Amino acid sequence: MSKGNIGVTSDNIFPVIKKFLYSDHEIFLRELISNAVDATQKLKTLSSVGEVKGDLGDLRVRVIINKEKKTLTVSDHGIGMTAEEVDKYINQIAFSGAEEFVNKYKDRTEAIIGHFGLGFYSAFMVSKKVEIFSLSYQEDAKAVHWSCEGDPEYTMEETIKAERGTDVVLHIDDEFSQYLEDATIEGLLRKYCKFLPVEIAFGKKKEWKDGKEVELDEENIINDINPAWTRKPADLTDEDYDKFYHELYPTQMEEPLFHIHLNVDYPFNLTGILYFPKIKSNLDVHRNKIQLYCNQVYVTDEVENIVPEYLTLLHGVIDSPDIPLNVSRSYLQSDNNVKKISGYITKKVADKLAELYKADKEEFAKKWDDIKMFIQFGMLTDEKFYEKAKDFALYKNLDGKYATLDEYKEQVKEAQTDKDGNLVLLYTNDPDAHYTFIERAKAKGYDVLLMDGELDVHTMSQAEQKNEKLRFVRIDSDTIENLIRKDENAKDDYSDEQREGLRKAFEAFIPKAEKLNYYVTCEPAAADALPVFLTQNEFMRRMKEMSAHQQGMSFYGQMPDQYNLVVNTAHPLIQELAAKMTSEQVSEEVEKKEGEETKKETVIKTVYSLANEDERLKQLIDIALLASGQLKGEALAKFVNRSVELL
Ligand code: ADP
Percent of the chain that is helix, strand, coil (3-state, to 5) = 45, 20, 35
Residue 598: the pLDDT is 67
- Give the burial string for 197-211 (b: 16+ CB within 10 Å, else e): bbbbbbbeeeeeeee
Ligand 1 atom 8: residue of nearest CA: 117
Buried b (16+ CB within 10 A) or exposed e, 594-631: eeeeeeeebbbbbbbebbeebeebbbbbbbbbebbebb
Ligand 1 center from residue 493 Cα (angstroms): 94
> With a 6 A CB cut-off, is 6 part of the ligand 1 pocket?
no
pTM: 0.74
DSSP label of 544: H
Instruction: Report the distance separating Cα 65 and Cα 227, nearest Å.
Output: 27
Write the burial class of residue 12 (CB in 10 Å: 0-12 exposed, 13-18 middle, 19+ buried). Answer: middle
User: Distance (Å, rounded) from C-alpha 293 to C-alpha 273?
Assistant: 12
Site to probe by mutation for ligand 1, drawn from 46, 84, 120 as the one with most ligand atoms within 8 Å of Cβ, is 120
Region of residue 417 (left: phi > 0; alpha: psi -120 to 50; beta: else): beta
CA 81 to ligand 1 centroid distance, Å:
9
Q: Which residues, 6 or more positions from 554, have their beta carbon under 8 angstroms from its beta carbon?
A: 547
Dist. CA 336 → ligand 1 center (Å): 29
Here the contacts of 14-20 (C-beta below 8 Å, separation 24 or greater) are 14/124, 14/150, 14/151, 14/152, 16/102, 16/106, 16/112, 17/118, 17/121, 17/122, 17/124, 17/125, 18/124, 18/125, 18/150, 20/106, 20/107, 20/109
DSSP per-residue codes, 51-78: SS-S------EEEEEETTTTEEEEEE-S
CA of 204 to the centre of ligand 1 (A): 27
**Residue-wise pLDDT tens digits, 443-472:** 999 999 999 998 899 999 999 999 999 999
> Which region, left, alpha or beta, applies to residue 562 given φ > 0 means left and ψ of -120 to 50 means alpha?
beta
User: What phi, psi does 70 have (nearest 5°)?
Assistant: 55, 45
Find out whether the beta carbon of 166 lies less than 6 Å from any atom of ligand 1: yes
Task: Tell the residue nearest (CA) to atom 15 of ligand 1.
Answer: 89
Pairing of strands 448-450, 423-428: parallel
Q: What is the Å distance from ligand 1's center to 119 Cα?
A: 8
For residue 87 and ligand 1, the question of a CB distance below 6 A is answered with no
**In this structure, are strands 165-172 and 394-396 parallel, antiparallel, or unpaired?**
unpaired
Gap from CA of 35 to ligand 1 centroid (Å): 5
Q: Is the beta carbon of 81 within 6 A of some atom in ligand 1?
A: yes
First to last CA, the chain: 110
Q: How far is the CA of 117 from the centre of ligand 1 (A)?
A: 8
Which amino acid residue places its CA nearest to atom 1 of ligand 1?
117
- Residue 119 Cβ inside 6 Å of ligand 1? The answer reads yes
Q: What is the 149 CA–ligand 1 centroid distance (Å)?
A: 19
For residue 627, which phi and psi values (nearest 5 degrees)? Answer: -65, -20
**Residue to substitute in 6, 27, 38 for testing ligand 1 pocket (most ligand atoms within 8 angstroms of CB):** 38
pLDDT for residue 27: 81
Three-state DSSP class for residue 574: helix
Strand 61-66 to strand 2-5: parallel, antiparallel, or no bridges (unpaired)? unpaired
Residue to substitute in 27, 35, 95, 115 for testing ligand 1 pocket (most ligand atoms within 8 angstroms of CB):
35
pLDDT of residue 511: 78
pLDDT of res. 546: 76
Q: Is 89 in the pocket of ligand 1 (CB under 6 A)?
A: yes
* Cα 129 to ligand 1 centre (Å): 18
Contacts of 187 (CB under 8 A, 6+ apart): none
- Listed in sequence order, the DSSP H helices in 201-328 are 238-248
Q: Is 76 in the pocket of ligand 1 (CB under 6 A)?
A: yes
CA-nearest residue for atom 12, ligand 1, is 89
611: Cβ below 6 Å to ligand 1?
no
Q: Is the CB of 398 under 6 A from ligand 1?
A: no
Report pLDDT for 115: 47
Is 144 a pocket residue for ligand 1 (Cβ < 6 Å)?
no
Q: Is 39 in the pocket of ligand 1 (CB under 6 A)?
A: yes
* Residue 292, C-beta contacts closer than 8 angstroms, at least 6 positions apart: 298, 299, 300, 301, 302, 303, 306, 317, 318, 319, 320, 323, 325
For ligand 1, atom 9, name the residue with the nearest CA.
120
How many angstroms separate the CA atoms of 72 and 595, rounded? 106
DSSP state of 210: T
Supply the pLDDT for residue 559: 74
CA distance 299 to 124: 20
- CB-CB contact of 459 with 396 (8 Å): no
Q: Look up residue 418 and give its amino acid.
A: D
- Tell me if 567 sits within 8 A of 624, measured CB to CB: no
Tally the C-alpha atoms within 13 A of residue 476's C-alpha that lie toward its C-beta.
Answer: 24
Is the CB of 84 inside a 6 Å radius of any atom of ligand 1? no
CB 120 less than 6 A from any atom of ligand 1: yes
| Nearest-angstrom CA–CA distance, 245 and 274 | 9
Altogether, the residues listed in the chain come to a count of: 647
For residues 270 and 341, the answer to whether their CB atoms sit within 8 Å is yes
What pLDDT digit, counting tens, does each position of 104-153 carry? 555 555 554 444 445 788 888 899 999 999 999 999 999 999 999 877 78
H/E run at residue 418: none
What residue's CA is closest to ligand 1, atom 13?
Answer: 89
Alpha-carbon span 376 to 358, nearest angstrom = 19
Cβ(36) to ligand 1 under 6 A? yes
Q: Is the CB of 117 under 6 A from ligand 1?
A: yes
Strands (E) located in 117-221: 127-135, 143-148, 153-159, 165-172, 200-209, 212-221
How far apart are the C-alpha atoms of 182 and 65, rounded to whole Å? 8
Ranges of the chain whose pLDDT falls below 50: 8, 22, 94-98, 101, 112-117, 327-328
For ligand 1, whether the C-beta of 102 sits within 6 Å is: no
Pocket lining: 91 vs ligand 1, CB cutoff 6 Å: no
Task: Using the mean position of ligand 1's atoms as its centre, give its distance from the Cα of residue 195 in Å.
Answer: 20
pLDDT (0 to 100) of residue 116: 46
Residue 21 confidence (pLDDT)? 53
For 546, residues 6+ apart whose C-beta sits below 8 A from its C-beta are: 457, 458, 461, 553, 556
> Is ligand 1 within 6 A of the CB of residue 167?
no
Q: Could you tell me which residues are beta bridge partners of residue 471? A: 424
Please name the helix (run of DSSP H) or strand (run of DSSP E) that holds residue 440, with its range, or none.
helix 435-443
Distance in Å, CA 277 to ligand 1 centroid: 39
Q: What is the C-alpha radius of gyration for the chain, rounded to an integer number of angstroms?
A: 37
Which residue is closest in CA terms to ligand 1's atom 14? 89
- Tell me, rounded to whole angstroms, the distance of Cα 550 from its chain centroid: 16
Cα 319 to averaged position of ligand 1 atoms, centre (Å): 21
524 preceded by a cis bond (ω within 30 of 0): no
Residue nearest to atom 16 of ligand 1 (CA): 89
Q: Which atom of ligand 1 is least distant from the CA of 34?
A: 2
Q: Residue 156 gets which letter from DSSP?
A: E
